[in-house]
Structure 1
Amino acid sequence: MMYLMIIYFGVHLLQAEKKKRSDEDARSLWTTEASGSVKLRIDEHCPQEPITVHQMFINCVKKYGKLPALATKTEDKLTTISFCQYYDRCRMTAKSFLKLGLERFHSVAILGSNSEEWFFSAVGAVFAGGFATGIYSTNSPEACHHIASDSRANIIVVDSNWQLDKILLIKDNLPHLKAIVQISGCLKKKLPNLYSWEQFMQLGQDIPDETLDGIIKSQKPNQCCVLIYTSGTTGLPKGVMLSHDNITWTACHASRAGDMQPAEIKQETIVSYLPLSHIAAQIYDMWTGIQWGEMVYFARPDALKGTLVHTLKEATPSSHMGVPRVWEKMMEKIKHELSRAAYLKRKLVNWAMSVTLDANLTYGKDEEKPFLFGVVNSLVIEKLRAELGFSNCEKFFSGAAPIGWDTYKFFLGLNIHLYEAYGMSESSGPHFMSGPQTYKMKSCGKVVPGCRCKIANEDAGGSGEVCLWGRNIFMGYLNMKDKTVEAFDEDGWLCSGDLGKLDEDGFLFITGRLKELIITAGGENVPPVPIEDAVKEELPIVSHAMLIGDKRKFLSMLLTVKCVFNLDTMEPTDDLSPEAVKFCQRLGSQATKVSDITGGKDKLVNHAIQEGIARVNARATSNAQRIQKWTILGKDFSVSGGELGPTMKLRRGGVSLNACMLLKIKYPVSLYFISTSGFQENNPGGGPLEMVQ
């Protein structure tokens, strides 16, 4: 009896200590504990009552219950479910997670392509008191292990046998793992605690509604419900803890800043294809969809390999979001199709696009345009947009990275204004939004109403570190106190690490990144992105440009040229892209392969690149910001190569390491030294050259 009493009082002491710790957390703006809670940033700028994800969904069902919510096309058959059905399936999923032993503040890790099951798993995990944790489908088994281990995943949901194989390699080293669920395909292996989706959905039938409702009622807006793992461009991915309030407030207010309409005014239709493990796609596709009653149409798993346009034509979305690389690929595809068109059609389209571009550059977005603009838009441009699936699309968003000016202008020629946003995982996605009412070329828009921004340590030009405040600011990095403390200043503002400036109208312009800032041996600070963008704008053949020169005497640049990608492996091939071939042909070059250009083989292309870089150098603000050496690498950057992250962001650390190995050991390259008197080839033989700086 005494033993039982000791256990009883011990448990109560632990619970009291845990509650005390939780109460202390609630007085702090951040926490790193899975079970922690935070002080919400409610003030006069954003006084709205905080709600949980479940409360948001209940509001959705009350308003939009009978409207179509999710649409999936399989084998030419379109299946649609309503918001009422969507909610019910999320509850069933939550019950099945509970049956499998999902513990409070542990995660359900989801590894796979976008699907209704991905949505059910994420929302169901939150309903059941766990965390929704996405894993990029391109992640290696080692990367999957890090996320599943760090988030204490009790259950992992995979979409295929291919993804299952990754988890089977690491499952024995995941002490918290209790079950694996496979969404599609026949189970090729019979293993304990491995379930098909159909088997899984039957498991929770004997879990009473009262049990699930009790868990739901115990949830608070200031507790964590979603983990977003950073793409790991520097070090291991960090688990960004997002609270119920982060999700529900952002879904409501950031989307309205982008002019997304509530379904009672107009039901928006969007296509879900970007990785849901990224906050931008998750907020835009899933949480905003619940908030405003959007219809989400799922693209095929191979959307980014060429089938996206087919889905767009079927779904005819009212708004569409892409990352810069998606817009670039779409541009390249259109250019390729135009190059194969009949001469008269090609001339007509190019003329119509030039008229449209000139009008959009000359006149404001909402200003009255010349009569000719209306004619070509009606007779030519609208038909082109329909061919892309954009016949009903009114809003086009670009996020996750800055978009190139050449891509931006190309779509202006199609009368498509790309609305850029700025934010990060740590701000639950967008903190600045562009939209029909808040638009300025090359800007990221204005701060989302209710959020705030300050520019710290401004230089003479008004540029400094962008710091953020609002209900969308994250709770902290899971299990990483030092990194969390580093993320905030002494007043609790999130320090983004990005350099930017605000104009007189409050529009944000990003000018670089603190960690990417190059400090030369002479002590001059050089932001690389504007120089890299300028080179790509001057030279349409260039796919990626990366400036290097930290602690060096001068700047050098690594270039890759545009090539065709293998659609099965997404690996870069040796074949030049149609746009690159066309660039070469205009010079009189016969090059059709990357290897025709590298190593100084093609003098015409090399000279054109030298001239382009010279034009960029002529506009440099100082000698220290001039490119002194450059080289063309033998392969374009890719996710699998380690140079790009999952959202196609440049991983500078990965590039620098790979490129140095390439330059010193593996690949015969030429570095070209650019002098004031002309261009001199440093290594005419094209042999392996160690970079001298």
Structure 2
Amino acid sequence: MTESEVTKTEYLKGPDQIIPSDVLKTWEPTGAVKIKIGKRGVDAHTPISVPSLLKKAADKFPDVKALCVKRDGVWKSITYREYFAQVCNIAKAFIKLGLERFHGVCILGFNSPEWFISDLAAIFAGGFASGIYTTNSPEACEHCAKSCRAQIFVVENQKQLDKVLQIRKNLPDLKAIIQYIGKPTSDGVLSWDDVMDLGKKEPDMELDSRLIRMAANQCCTLIFTSGTTGPPKGVMLSHDNMSWTAHANSVNIDFALGKEVIISFLPLSHVAAQMSDIYMCMYSGVTVYFAQPDALKGSLAATMKEVRPTVLLSVPRVWEKIYEKLMEVGKSTKGVKKSIVTWAKSIGLEVCERRQKQDFGKPLLFPVANKILFKKIKMALGLDRCKIFISAAAPISNEILKYFHSINIPLTEIYGMSESCGPHTVGLETAFKIGSCGSTPPGFYTKLINKDKDGNGEICMYGRHVSMGYLHMEDEIHEAIDDEGWLHTGDIGYLDLDDFLFITGRIKELIVTAGGENVAPVNIEEIVKGELPCIGNCMLIGDRRKFLSILLTMKTDMDMETGELKDSLLPTALDWCQSLGSEAKTVQDVLKGPDAKVMKAIQDGIDRANSKAISNAQRIQKWTLLPKDFSIPGGECGPTMKMKRSFIAEKYSDVIEEFYNE
């Protein structure tokens, strides 16, 4: 059904109604799509809107703590009943401030109750919730706001407000700016309390009018892609996309209703955080604790000890930081104690091996290892109650996965994308393989197309979690979703005999050498990092070139305030250098001279990686060590820490050309 057809016809049985439609994708803000309802199991789950999802939570878990935040050193909380009431109040205020249906509410700030409430209030009012990365420049914020015709901007503080004030004159649809932390000092900017009071005074009539016009198969949320492959696209996700995916994943992961506890700290502009922190929590009555704004700069560890979550979803960088800290502690362990720790970790790895073979029996001496090591580590980390440990958003090394399994923290991976509401394949403690992204849960469907002789093909997804389309981008959505509703991810991978998915590359990143050899860079890069624990990032070069080369960076400290990377080596890299007899403590120490011991060891690691190559064309012939690791401030990484390959290639074009100068 087209935008004009939907606009002309009044459907007044919302919010859970389904507007008749035969199309599986749309790019129009008012468009409606066909819901792929199955005949049994999770496929057949009755579609509901986001407002109904929260209303059910308020009815089922009225007195369960929903949102908890520490302000001025004191934890404050609201129940699910209060959560629903506050969302309704803010929705009424948004309508009063001029929010029209199918227009955006942009939210720019760190995770907080106000972020959640603004997001859901935008949806209740018939608008589009549109989260923006806090690291975005004013220009990037403007792009997102213009895309969704934003009429309201909700910002955290003065720092984020300044970005909006810079672009306000370029946003003709903008009607209100709201600051939710601190007292606004700029003209025309409303405080959170002002908006809450405004909503309380408004009658329910207009909100009810919006709700009855709502449909489960229309867009409610926009997720802007991170922009690693071009300008951010607004991924249109319907009510059914979000509510069904929350249902299917909560059932698959087996959340205990009304009992789980999580910490919200990953960027809510990313679909993984929204699905886990907002939607699955609504479905299962989870208590959400908000980390401090400097969580990723160091305070998360203290919050974990205080909150003791039962589920921990994080990105590889956080797991790497925990790993590095534990390795640093392990360095001081000597003698008999070290032998005992090594033995206990061998028990943990045996458990890991058994689990991968679907053998859930424990070694005879597991209780001993658990008592002397595993429990103590979990207590120290604040993970003694945690039963689900997940890494998402980017690849994580097998070395780190194995380490966590060795201390009985069964860390698994999830694979998905913005266009699939987040999770598509899921690794569970009861169903995982090291190096895989898990298997496809019930209700989700995976197929591989254009497979090569080794079984690698493009990964395609199907199910009720596949998005409606890209806002105002007709050509792009036809490229991404075919006429049967399959989402073509652009990722390359294979399914093993047990249907576990392994990612091996990305079509747009595929290197085709001058000799016509197809090379997937991800596998080779991971092998190099596995051989060289000092390496932070590496990027393979060789498209239309005679041979492969690689850019390398070393692991270095980060300025916790700015995110800028320092010159000083992280303990992992420092220990590695010292094991070689090198006295280097910074990247510059290595590059000065250069340090012959370090350079030889890197070459030895490259040689070991080359010994695993499947052909001569996949061997690395040249490499260089860059003076700085890749980062968000440096421009080499997007908000989820994925490498921007084209940016890196351009930034270091002179270095790359040196590889190929005869």
TM-score by length of 1: 0.91
Aligned residue type for 1:138: T
CA distance in 1, matches of 2:25, 2:271: 19
* 1:489 to partner: Cα distance: 2.6
Look up the match of 2:272.
Answer: 280
* 1:336 to partner: Cα distance: 2.5
Aligned residue type for 2:276: Y
SS in 1 for 2:394: coil
Superposed CA offset, 1:522-552 (max 9, x none): 0110011110000100100000011010000
1:129 and 2:151 are equivalent in the alignment? no
SS in 2 for 1:108: strand
CA distance in 2, matches of 1:551, 1:519: 6
1:337 and 2:329 are equivalent in the alignment? yes
* 1:353 to partner: Cα distance: 5.4
- Give the unaligned 5+ runs of structure 1: 1-13, 665-688
* 1:351 to partner: Cα distance: 1.9
Residue correspondences, number: 650
Counterpart among 176, 190, 194 of residue 195 in structure 1:
190
CA contact (8 A) 1:560 1:636 kept: yes
1:466 and 2:462 are equivalent in the alignment? no
SS in 1 for 2:263: strand
CA distance in 1, matches of 2:106, 2:344: 45
1:351 and 2:335 are equivalent in the alignment? no
Identity of aligned residues (%): 47
Q: Which range moves more in the overlay, 374-383 or 466-475?
A: 374-383
CA contact (8 A) 2:108 2:134 kept: yes
Shift in CA distance, 78/25, structure 1 to aligned 2, threshold 3 Å: same
CA contact (8 A) 1:257 1:434 kept: no
CA contact (8 A) 2:347 2:363 kept: no
- Give the unaligned 5+ runs of structure 2: 12-17
Shift in CA distance, 312/510, structure 1 to aligned 2, threshold 3 Å: same
* 1:227 to partner: Cα distance: 0.2
CA distance in 1, matches of 2:233, 2:85: 33
Look up the match of 2:15.
Answer: none
Superposed CA offset, 1:221-280 (max 9, x none): 0010000000000110000000000000001102322222222xxx11000000000000
CA distance in 1, matches of 2:336, 2:152: 55
Shift in CA distance, 606/459, structure 1 to aligned 2, threshold 3 Å: same
CA distance in 2, matches of 1:481, 1:550: 30
Q: Which range moves more in the overlay, 42-51 or 444-453?
A: 42-51
Superposed CA offset, 1:640-683 (max 9, x none): 1111110111111111111215567xxxxxxxxxxxxxxxxxxx
CA distance in 2, matches of 1:320, 1:183: 27
Look up the match of 1:257.
Answer: 252
1:104 and 2:93 are equivalent in the alignment? no
SS in 2 for 1:377: helix
Look up the match of 1:575.
Answer: 568
* 1:346 to partner: Cα distance: 6.9
CA distance in 1, matches of 2:483, 2:100: 35
Look up the match of 2:73.
Answer: 76
Look up the match of 1:521.
Answer: 514
* 1:601 to partner: Cα distance: 0.9
Bigger CA radius of gyration: 1
Look up the match of 1:439.
Answer: 432
Counterpart among 158, 164, 168 of residue 165 in structure 2:
168
- Pairs within 5 Å for 1:508-587: 508-587=501-580
* 1:357 to partner: Cα distance: 4.2
Counterpart among 320, 329, 338 of residue 328 in structure 1:
320
* 1:360 to partner: Cα distance: 3.3
1:217 and 2:200 are equivalent in the alignment? no
CA distance in 2, matches of 1:35, 1:599: 60
CA distance in 1, matches of 2:55, 2:335: 56
1:186 and 2:183 are equivalent in the alignment? yes
TM-score by length of 2: 0.95
Look up the match of 2:14.
Answer: none
* 1:600 to partner: Cα distance: 5.5
* 1:16 to partner: Cα distance: 5.9
Aligned residue type for 1:155: I
Shift in CA distance, 356/692, structure 1 to aligned 2, threshold 3 Å: farther
* 1:299 to partner: Cα distance: 0.3
Look up the match of 1:406.
Answer: 399
CA distance in 2, matches of 1:293, 1:524: 52
SS in 1 for 2:256: coil
Shift in CA distance, 359/16, structure 1 to aligned 2, threshold 3 Å: closer
CA contact (8 A) 1:25 1:36 kept: no
- Pairs within 5 Å for 1:154-165: 154-165=151-162
CA distance in 1, matches of 2:276, 2:630: 27
1:311 and 2:303 are equivalent in the alignment? yes
CA distance in 2, matches of 1:268, 1:104: 34
CA contact (8 A) 2:459 2:493 kept: yes
Q: Which range moves more in the overlay, 602-611 or 402-411?
A: 402-411
1:606 and 2:603 are equivalent in the alignment? no
Superposed CA offset, 1:378-437 (max 9, x none): 112211111111010011011111211111112112211112111110011111112233
CA distance in 1, matches of 2:365, 2:280: 38
Shift in CA distance, 201/386, structure 1 to aligned 2, threshold 3 Å: same
CA contact (8 A) 2:355 2:430 kept: no
Look up the match of 2:284.
Answer: 292
CA contact (8 A) 1:600 1:606 kept: no
CA contact (8 A) 1:338 1:346 kept: no
SS in 2 for 1:387: helix
Superposed CA offset, 1:277-308 (max 9, x none): 00000000001111110000100000000111
SS in 2 for 1:531: helix
Counterpart among 629, 633, 640 of residue 640 in structure 1:
633
* 1:348 to partner: Cα distance: 5.5
CA distance in 2, matches of 1:199, 1:661: 54
SS in 1 for 2:458: strand
1:425 and 2:418 are equivalent in the alignment? yes
* 1:200 to partner: Cα distance: 1.6
CA contact (8 A) 2:106 2:152 kept: yes
CA distance in 1, matches of 2:242, 2:221: 8
Look up the match of 2:142.
Answer: 145
Superposed CA offset, 1:353-386 (max 9, x none): 5324432354326533333333122112211111
Aligned residue type for 1:97: F
CA distance in 1, matches of 2:620, 2:265: 38
